Structure formats: C-alpha cells, structure tokens
A and B are shown apart, each in its own frame.
Chain A
Amino acid sequence: MNRKSTLLILLAVAGTVAFMRTVGCGSARTARSAAAEKVYVAPGEHDKYYGFLSGGQSGSIFVIGIPSCRLIREIPIFEPRAAYGYAIADSDPRRQELIRTGGLWGDTHHPALSETDGVYDGRYVYINDLANARVARVRLDYFEADKIAKIPNLQGAHGIAVLSPNTRLLVVNGEFEQPTDGMATNPAPYTSVIAYLDPETMQTKFEVRVPGNIDIADTSKDGRYSFSTSYNLEQGKDINQMTQLDRDAVVAVDVPLAEKAVAAGKGHVVNGVPILEPSENPGVVTMIPVPKNPHGINVSPDGKYVIASGKLSPTVSIIDAHTLKILAEPEVGLGPLHTTFDGRGNAYTSLFIDSQVVKWNIEKAIKGAPDYIVDRIDIHYNIGHLQAVGGASMKPAGDYLLALNKLSKDQYLPVGPDLPEDQELIDISGHKMKMLASFPTPPEPHDAEFIDAKILSPRVKQVYTPAPDAVSEGRETVVRTGPHSVTVNMTMLRSAYTPDSFTVREGDQVTLHLTNVETIRDNIHGFALPDHGLNLQLPPGDTRTVTVPAGRPGVYWYYCTNFCSALHLEMRGRMIVQPKDSTIPIPDWKSAQNVKGTVPGVPSTGAVQ
C-alpha cells in the first residue's frame, strides 16, 4: 500500500467519524435546545404556573415558576426568617404564636390548594407541620400565613388534603401513634387519629381513631370519602415489627356518616375534640387491605379510582372510589411511592428504588392488558413525590410533571457534604416523557401543587390596605405610657423614619409601632435595631408592633435593611438610651409636620416646606 492510498483511507475514516459525530451531536443539540425552549421564559415575561413546593424542614413554602423553574419567593411559616423579618423579634406576635403552638421550626410536607368545584380557586394553600401537629393556612392574595392551628390528640401531622370538590373540610393524618389516653400510662396498643378541620376557622371539628400509622391523604372527588394509607397495622415499634404483615390498609372514612355520628354525640371528647371510635360507629371506617406498608394515595381526576402505591411492593392497588373494591394490582416497578395524572387516562407513578417515573394506562392495567406500561424515564435520584400540573384536581393540564427527588449526588457543582435537593421538570404532553430541566433547592421539598397564573395572579395584592391602627404621616408620636414603658408610633417613607430619633431610659420597655406609609409596590422598608434582636421587614402599607427592652445606655442606630431608594443608606435613626439615674427630662414628642397646606389633596407633610 503506497502512501497515497494510506492517506486516502485515513481521510475517509476521519471523514466518516467526523460525519457521525456531527450528526450525533447535532441530534443531541436539537433535543437540548428543544428542551431549553420549553423552559425558557424571557426576562420580564411570566411563568404559566405557580408551583408551591413544601419546604420540608425549612418549615416554609417555596414558590417556583413553571416552566422556568425560577424561585420567585419563599413563604416563611413555621420558622423565623430574617430575610422577611418574620418572627425574629421576641415580642413579634407571629413568633409568640409559633412558640404557643409548638415551636420555632416546622416540617412542612404537603401543600394543599383550596378548591372550588374540584379546581384550584387560588384562595388558600394549606400545609402541615409534621413535627408539631400543626396546620397553617396561607392566604394567596398576600402570600402569607394567616392562621396556624395546633391539632389536639395527634402527633406527626403528615398527610393533608382538602375535601373535594369545595374544600368543605381539611383532612390531616396522624402518623405517630399515641397511647389512647395521651398519657403514656395506658398499656393498650397505640393508635392514631385522622383529624377533620374547618378550613375557615382552622378548628379541629372531630377526629376518627384508626389503627396503624396514618400516612398520606386524599379525598374522593364527590366529598364522600377521605382516603388514607395506613402502615404498621402490626402496631410495632421497630422496623422488624412494622413490616411483618403481608397487608396493611387503605383507610376510607365516610365523612358525611362521621359528621352525623359526631352530631349525634357519638364522639368521646378529648381535649375539646370529639373522637369517633370505629367499633362504635359501623360504616364510618372501611379498611381496604393493600400490600404492606403502602405510601402514596391519589384519587384520579375523574373521581373513579383510588391509587395506593405499594412502596415495599412493586405494585399499585387500583381501588374503585365508590365501591371501595380493589380492581387490580398491576406491577409498575420498585418502590412505588406516589401517583399523579394527566387527565388522558394515564397515571404516573414515582419509583423510589428504581429512580424512575413510570407512565401507565389505568384502564389497560385494570383490564390486565400486557401493554399498560407506556413509558419510563430516569430520575436523579430517588424520587419521592411527583406532581403533574393540576394532577390532584379534577382538571389536570397534562403538560408538565415535577419530580421531587431525595438525592442529588452528582447533579450540581459540589458544595461540600451537605448536598442540595433536586427537582426535575418533565414534559408529559406527548406519548413519551421528556426531561426538560432540573433545579436545586434548600432542604427539602416533599410535595408540590401548581395553579394556573391566570387564576391566581389577578387575586394577588402587592400593597397592604393600611390597618385600622396604622400610623399615618403627621401623626407620629413618642409617648411615655408608664414609669418603665414608652411607645413610639413611627412611619417609614423613602428615605426616612419619622421620628428619626427618640430618647428612652435604661430599664424601659420600648414598644415600636411601625407603619410603612408607602403606597407603591415593592417599596419595602426594613427596621433593624442593633443589639436588640430586632429585624422587621414592612411591605408598603404594613404595620407591625414589637416591644424591646431599652437595653444598656447608649446610642443605637436603627436602619433600613431592605434596599429601598437612592438614600437607602441614609435611612436611619437613633434610639438614645439614657442611664437609669439620668435626670435629663425626656418630654413626649409629637410630629411637628401637622401644618395644613392650602391645596386640597396635597398633604403638607409629604412636601418640602
């Protein structure tokens, strides 16, 4: 072989390789850019959906835009959060409410959006605190928790669901079984309760006692049943004991029947809440045997089927939502945890052990058709919950599905041993699932629900209507209210506090009654008082009241922590604390800007005189 032909062969090989590479990379590039285009939301444009992701041990809710996967806001609920000036000061009523109901942290798992006619109405999102048996209600006009309720007789508030279709009740499962007397002296086996709350008052109306550990909750679309998975019918205390039986149960509670029994006085009142015993109230509780230690429970959007996921069994149990009979138990893969729906007859089940989402056809699975499995997609890694847009409502959108994964391993730049959580957005609009994007979050989202921005965003308010006790401009005062108490009624407006200084005496309790008198959105002002454990953030129109001890004598500069304006750095004032034995008089103070202008409509206080 001469040199010329060798060269030709080499060239041909190189050309072929180059061609293959180009084509191969080209198709990969095309797939990447197609995925990128699906999640690209240009600057200034808005996402199609709000995603509410539970914050897990962050005790909060993460609000994520879908499909861009951008974090828009965190709603602090069960944990003080300096970023929002939330429950930081000792005397902050929100902090005191947290302490009163169970402590300064929470473990949020399942956001549940309020429904009207089986679809999300954008009024509230409810969320549990597993650790301290609490449920919070978040107003979605202001994106803030407006009620936090402690649930009596229950530990481990885990599964939570609104009673479809009109949010008549809130269902909360007690996961950690308790001695029936609540005292640890009763030798009888521990039991759990399912609590039913009024979604407006957040009062627990009644509870139903059930055996086992009550896990995840959902409700039938007609409001007849609440469904809960129950593991540990063995009533064991350790893993070995807890996994002995072949079958645990889905607990179906006939809610109207239970309400009738409560109304008839059949409940045993414990800590102010009537508890129904199933043995005394036949028909209220139906135990549907399913493979052991089931986990997720999800009712199909058409209200026909209840899907219980096997967890330790590679199957899901399809239960008729009306007759409560098991229709089929198809195999779907290892570690099925939760199921969601696209509204086209398909179910999507998360497989924790397989690290996959499996798409399967419900009717085909019931009929035993061999091709009921439609598709599988790999997840990174160990998926827990999954939720399709509207999958838990009666009108799924069938476009996106979010996988909420327990481990992220190699998915992001290494940041030390404490790895972030991983979420993955999947396109489910076609026959095959397509991976679109992933995003990390702080620990640790469990579950999510999504609402169409067209429904929610028109309801959202961005400026508070001033409260009746709001301080208004020109009405600022510093008043001594007792021998050891001073009240400061202060306003904040770009770029000043009024008053910009006040004097108190060592030993005083200083009550700060603050109003942000801004009227334009996003003019948020902070109020931080050094060495006094005080940081508040007041959005426009907001009023907050806190009381702090004056502390050691000295000058303390309060300042704005939320960058507000061109003179943000100059926005500050002094709290002057005189020594206890100081004899310098401290007169009360009134805003001197009460000069009336002569132009109606123009407040003279705002004007440069």
Chain B
Amino acid sequence: MIGGASHGGTIGRRSAAAAPPRAASRPEPSRIVSAGSDGAIGRRAWSGPPGRRLAFFAAAALAAAAAFLPLWGFRMSAPQYPGESLHLTVTARAIGGDVHEITTLQKYIGVRFPTRLPELHYLVPAILSLAAAFLVAGLLAGRRRGRYVAWGAFALSVLFFAASAAVLQKRLYDVGHDRDPHAPLRSMHDFTPPLVGPAKIGNFTVWSYPHAGAGLLIAAAGAVAWGLRARRERGPRSLDGARG
C-alpha cells in the first residue's frame, strides 16, 4: 500500500503505550511481527491503511460542509416556461428557489406546499453529529476501539440516509396525495414524485435529484466505507504474507 511505512510509523509512535496488552490479547499481531512485515501495525490492533485517518477527517469535513449546502433539488419544466425551468432547492435550513412561482402554481392543483417541516430543525444537528462521528472515528483511528466508532459512524450515516430518504419520499407522496379537495383542478390524478428521477405532473415534468450537499454526504459515507473496507483488505494480505 502506498505510503504504508511512514503512516504506520506515525500510528506506532502515538500508541506505543497501548501496545503490550493488545499484543498479548490478540494472536494476529504477533504473527505479523514475526513475519516482520510492519512493526508498527504489529503493535496496533486497529491502525490500518495509511489513508484511513485522512479519509475519516475528509468525511467529517464533507459532512460539515453539506450542512450548509443544498441537499435536494427539483427542476420543473413546462412548455410555457421556455428556457426558464423552475427550481426548488432544499437546504438544511430552508427551501429556496422559485418558491413564489411554485406556490402560485400549486394552488391550481391543490398541492399543499409544506409550510411546516419539523424535520428541518433536526437536519443541521443530525448532519453535524454525523460529521462529529466521522471526526471522532478519525481521531480514534489509531486506537483500539476506533474501529467500533468508525463502524458506528458508518452505520449512523446509513441510518441517516435511510431515514432522510424515507421522510423525503413520504413528503413527496403527501405532495401528490394530500391535496386540497377544493382545489380548482382537483380532478388531476394523484402522483408521487420519485426521490430521483422524472415525474409528469400536469403540464410539468418534475425532476428530483440529489444536490451538492447530498453529494458531499454520500462522498463522506463513501470515504468512511473506503476506510473500513481498506482494513479488511489489508488484514488478510498481511496474514497471507505471514503465511507465505
């Protein structure tokens, strides 16, 4: 692995004191040590690939940035809006874009533009918590229990994605179903815009898509996953090396 030696050395220096008990409790490190492949890793149960700490820190930074960027976007186009598609962007703090025009249009088909979204209050804390979890995972990358924290952070992010997707999809379902029965065009069929992709709503084609913030969050989760996966790859290879 690129840069393995130098990174391993860093981890080794910092966790020198913890080395003896761990070496005693686990058989693998001694084997690695005996193989002489990497002394630093040998003393560490959870130290792993060199980019890992960096990956966790990067994940933390990406997630923190995501809290301030648009998370989800909607683009609406219709024949009578040539070259001027309407846009909505959901950030963790507000809904922005062509809100005025879209609320005006929605009255015709009785869509209740959400004026109360309690989940938005939890969004910034949730994303910042994720970032904090990634940060801690990065800080603890050299420590024994760091891997549990990392796995925990990853699981949190997956949970966050699942919950967000569920809430968003519920909101989108409501938009298309929980309509004002007294709306002028109530005869229009109910609809459910997908999380990602196009939906035909009246004369509009509505595209839902993850925005920059969601992209960063996904990238952050990806970085954490990479860090975790790298550990798994690294281990067997070292063992193989020891066996060989």
Binding site for B on A (CB under 8 A): 493-494, 518-521, 565-567, 570, 597-604, 606-609
Contact = CB atoms under 8 A, between A and B. Distances in A.
Given A520-B101, A607-B103, A608-B180, A598 B108 contact: no
Contacts of A520: 81, 84, 101
Nearest to B96: A601
A609 B107 CA distance: 10
A600 B99 contact: no
Nearest to A604: B115
B193 to A, nearest CB: 17
A607 B112 CA distance: 7
A599 B116 contact: yes
A429 B238 CA distance: 81
A608 B112 contact: yes
B94 interface: yes
A567 B184 contact: yes
Determine chain B's interface SS by DSSP, over half rule: loop
Contacts of A521: 84
13 contacts: A493-B104, A494-B105, A520-B84, A521-B84, A599-B94, A599-B114, A599-B116, A599-B117, A601-B99, A602-B94, A602-B95, A602-B114, A603-B100
Given A599-B95, A600-B94, A606 B120 contact: no
Interface in B110-128: 110-118, 120
Contacts of A607: 103, 106, 112-113, 115
Contacts of B108: 565-567
Nearest to A517: B100
A599 B120 contact: yes
B165 interface: no
Interface of B: 81, 84, 93-96, 98-101, 103-108, 110-118, 120, 180, 183-185
A494 B108 CA distance: 9
B101 A608 contact: no
A608 B100 contact: no
Best-buried of A518, A519, A599 by chain B (most CB within 10 Å): A599
Contacts of B94: 599-602
A384 B195 CA distance: 65
B190 to A, nearest CB: 16
Nearest to B86: A520
A608 B117 contact: no
B176 to A, nearest CB: 14
A597 B99 contact: no
Contacts of A608: 106-107, 110-113, 180, 183
Contacts of A602: 94-95, 99, 103, 113-115
Contacts of B120: 599
B101 A603 contact: no
B95 A601 contact: yes
B184 A606 contact: no
B199 to A, nearest CB: 20
Complex A-B, nearest 6 residue pairs according to Cβ-Cβ distance, in ascending order: A597-B115, A606-B103, A600-B94, A601-B94, A607-B113, A601-B95
A597 B103 CA distance: 13
Nearest to B113: A607
A397 B81 CA distance: 34
Contact of B104 (A494, A597, A599): A494
B93 A606 contact: no
A608 B182 CA distance: 11
Contacts of A597: 115-116
A600 B99 CA distance: 11
B119 to A, nearest CB: 11
A601 B87 CA distance: 13
Contacts of B114: 599, 602
Contacts of B116: 597-599
A602 B183 CA distance: 20
Given A598-B116, A599-B114, A606 B100 contact: yes
A283 to B, nearest CB: 57
Given A519-B100, A566-B185, A603-B103, A598 B115 contact: yes
Nearest to B110: A608
A601 to B, nearest CB: 4
A521 B103 CA distance: 16
B99 A566 contact: no
Contacts of B101: 519-520
B111 to A, nearest CB: 7
Nearest to A605: B103
Nearest to A473: B100
A599 B184 contact: no
A324 to B, nearest CB: 53
A26 to B, nearest CB: 40
Contacts of B110: 608
Contacts of B81: 520
Nearest to A601: B94
Contacts of B105: 494
The listed residue with most A CB atoms (<10 A of its CB), out of B81, B93, B98, B103, is: B103
Contacts of A494: 104-105
